[in-house]
Homo-oligomer: A and B are copies of this chain.
Amino acid sequence: MEFKEAKNKFVQTWGALGSQWGINKTMAQIHALLMVSNEPVSMEDIMEELQISRGNASMNLRGLMDWGIVYKEFKAGERKEFFTAEKDLDELAVKISRERSKREIKPTLKILKEVSTIEAKDSAEEKHFVDQTTKLYDFVLKADNMLDKITEFNDNWLGKLFIKMMK
Q: Interface residues, chain A, CB within 8 Å of chain B?
A: 1-3, 6-7, 9-10, 13, 17, 19-22, 35-38, 87, 89, 93, 104, 108, 111-112, 114-115, 118, 121, 124-129, 132-133, 135-136, 139, 146, 158, 162, 165
Dominant secondary structure of chain A at its interface with chain B: helix
The CA of A55 and the CA of B54, in the complex, are separated in Å by 40
Copies of this chain assembled into the complex: 2
8 Å CB contact of A38 from B6, B10, B104, B124: B124
Chain B min CB distance to A16 (Å): 9
Q: Which residue of chain B lies nearest to A8 when distances are taken between CB atoms in the complex?
A: B115
Residue pair A1, B118 in contact (C-beta under 8 Å):
yes
Residue pair B20, A104 in contact (C-beta under 8 Å):
yes
Which residues of B have CB within 8 Å of A89? 135-136, 139
The CA of A136 and the CA of B139, in the complex, are separated in Å by 29
Residue pair B139, A2 in contact (C-beta under 8 Å):
no
Q: Which residue of chain B lies nearest to A123 when distances are taken between CB atoms in the complex?
A: B3
8 Å CB contact of A36 from B38, B108, B128: B128
